[in-house]
Amino acid sequence: MLFYLVLIPILFGVLNILISKWDTRIPVLVGQVLLLAYTFYLFFLVRSSGAIIDFMSGLPEGFAIRLYADILSSTMVLLNVLIFTVLLFFAYNKSYTTDKFLFLIFVLEGVMNSLFLSADLFNLFIMLEVSTLTVSILIMIKKEKQAIYDGMIYFFANVIGTTFMLFGIGFLYSTTGVLDIYVIADMMEYIQDPNLVLLPYALMMTTLSLKIAAVPLFSWLPKAHGTPSAPSVVSAILSGLYIKTGVYLFIRFSFMFGPVIDASNLFMVIGFITSVFGIIMAVAQTDLKMILAYSTVSQVGLIMVGINLGAQVAFFGALFHIFSHALFKSTLFLSAGQIEDQYGTRDIRQIRGLWKTMPLTAISIVLAAFGIIGAPFFNGSVSKYMMASGSDMTLYSLAMHIINIGTIIYFVRLISILFGEEAKIRNPEAHAVDKLSEYTLLFLSIAILLTGIFSPVVVEALFNYSDLTLLSTSYLEKNIFFVFEFIAGFALYQGIVRRETLLEVIKEFEITFNGIITAMASFFLFIYAYGFVFL
């Protein structure tokens, strides 16, 4: 059953190529909706009957490649298929929705499902390589000079990064003799000396840290997510969904090595540094998509803080933030594409009066912004509340306030495009607003609010966590603090951030390709040295 989730999207893509002389958009949408229904069926089957395992051969456990769907993986697959379905509706009338584009989109959907379901390490490596190639082609699909440069940087950085994982898998296999994550996790219980698996741990965590764009391995992400010519659907997939594969694998690998190696404190600090760095870089940008790209760096850093804190409520808060971030970041990137189509620019200094020119898009941006800054009763508010509840330490609380104030600052900067006199837009007859795309945005943005209001039900359904309530004094206090955070963020934006001269130096910061490779090698050595000294 699980294999269908990998195979069917790829078959959709192949069939779309084979019958490309006909308009395949409606059959494609129907097929995708049916796949979504099947995914819901498997999701509820896991909730009612427990984990589902598909053995891909007659070999015994530990030797067969198998697909494994538990609560976490089935939720990630459901999120993946759901967002892909919404994005196909958004792209229905777009000029870039060609047979080749749909083929690549469907291949990526199937490969990502495989990344969430596979229990075999080598299979995961292969899927990471295939997804890297697919994403690179999607980035370069319009064949513009800057897009080709950004796509090649992404491709080579990630191919080299996954090579670390390949070596790590080889060393781990030489120690354990198996490649199944869950079998290896059981074997780890019997390993007394961490040094036996420290080298593969450092190698594999270097790859995953690159995939989640942790500092200092972040430089590829703005190039890939914010490249000028990539369709907004591609940016939405990369930022809303694809980067979550790295977070998901980080959780799985941490579980696998957990009985022997626990570096959660280190990765919590790395997560906080990554989040703050992403905020600083986002504040400095004037390109709409670059603001959103660096925002993703910051938000994934925040997720890493919650995952590694060690508290159950913070862990499930981080998982809910993965879900929430997929909704509001997809909404924002798709909105950025709509705006660029109308205004012919992504420079926020040249975009004004969005309320008047594109009211539905403006509403979607506001609702998505409320979600990401944690406004009361939006999904981002609840996930941040859960992560903040994971510790009573003053330093931790201060860190969470700093992250949220920073998020508010760059979104105050971004939503300035809603107000002011209407800026000149392209010929409205030649560039009419795509209503289906706007209604899709509205659907996503309303989902951001509804999944916040009904978050106790949503969190229990998605992650089987039932201890969440919004009718508590602590959640009320969180919302009161939010008001002060918003005032502080707005004041800092007006008093400091609007001074463009202060931001120009930060804006131009960039690491070269050689710097990216050096950073990967240095990060690996740092993780290995940390484990050797402290574990």
Query: Of the candidates 472, 465, 486, 480, which has an alpha carbon nearest to the alpha carbon of residue 317?
Result: 465
**What is the DSSP secondary structure assignment for residue 378, as one 8-state letter?**
S
- Amino acid in position 103: F
Amino acid letter, 499? R
CA–CA distance, 262 with 119 (Å, rounded to integer): 21
Both tokens of residue 168?
A: 């790590």
Which of 1-15, 228-242, 260-274 is most confident? 260-274
- Distance in Å from the first CA to the final CA of the chain: 41
pLDDT at residue 208 is higher than 90: yes
Q: What is the pLDDT of residue 354?
A: 87
pLDDT tens-digit profile of 453-472? 999 999 999 999 988 888 77
pLDDT digits (tens, 9 = 90+) for 96-122: 888 888 999 999 999 999 999 999 999
CA 104 to chain centre: 19
Q: Distance between CA atoms of 127 and 116, rounded to whole angstroms?
A: 10
Per residue in 21-55, pLDDT (tens digit) is 777 778 888 889 999 999 999 999 999 999 898 88
List the domain boundaries for the chain.
1-258+511-534, 262-498
Average pLDDT taken over every residue of the chain: 88
Burial 176-207 (b: 16+ CB within 10 A, else e): bebbbbbbbbebbeebeebeebbbbbbbbbbb
- How much is the pLDDT for 430? 46
CB contact at 8 A, 164 and 204: yes
Given a cut of 80, whether residue 323 has pLDDT beyond it is: yes
pLDDT at 423 over 70: no
Our separate counts of H helices and E strands in the chain read 23, 2
225 in Cβ contact with 235 (< 8 Å): yes
**Is it the case that residue 230 has pLDDT exceeding 80?**
no
Helix H, strand E, coil C: the string for 289-332 is: HHHHHHHHHHHHHHHHHHHHCCCHHHHHHHHHHHHHHHHHHHHH
Question: Lowest-pLDDT range, 419-423, 436-440, 468-472?
Answer: 419-423
Asked if residues 179 and 120 have their Cβ atoms less than 8 Å apart, the reply is yes
What are 351-355's contacts with CB under 8 Å, separation 24+? Answer: 351/288, 351/417, 351/423, 352/417, 352/419, 352/420, 352/421, 352/422, 352/423, 353/418, 353/419, 353/420, 353/421, 353/422, 353/423, 354/417, 354/418, 355/418, 355/419
* pLDDT band, residue 355 (cuts 50/70/90): confident
pLDDT digits (tens, 9 = 90+) for 480-509: 989 999 999 888 887 776 666 666 667 667
Per residue in 128-166, pLDDT (tens digit) is: 999 999 999 998 887 777 788 888 888 999 999 999 999
Tokens of 197: 């698996």
Compute the half-sphere exposure of residue 117: CA atoms within 13 Å on the CB side of its CA.
31
Q: Which residue has the tokens 């059981």?
A: 186
Q: For residue 343, is pLDDT > 90?
A: no
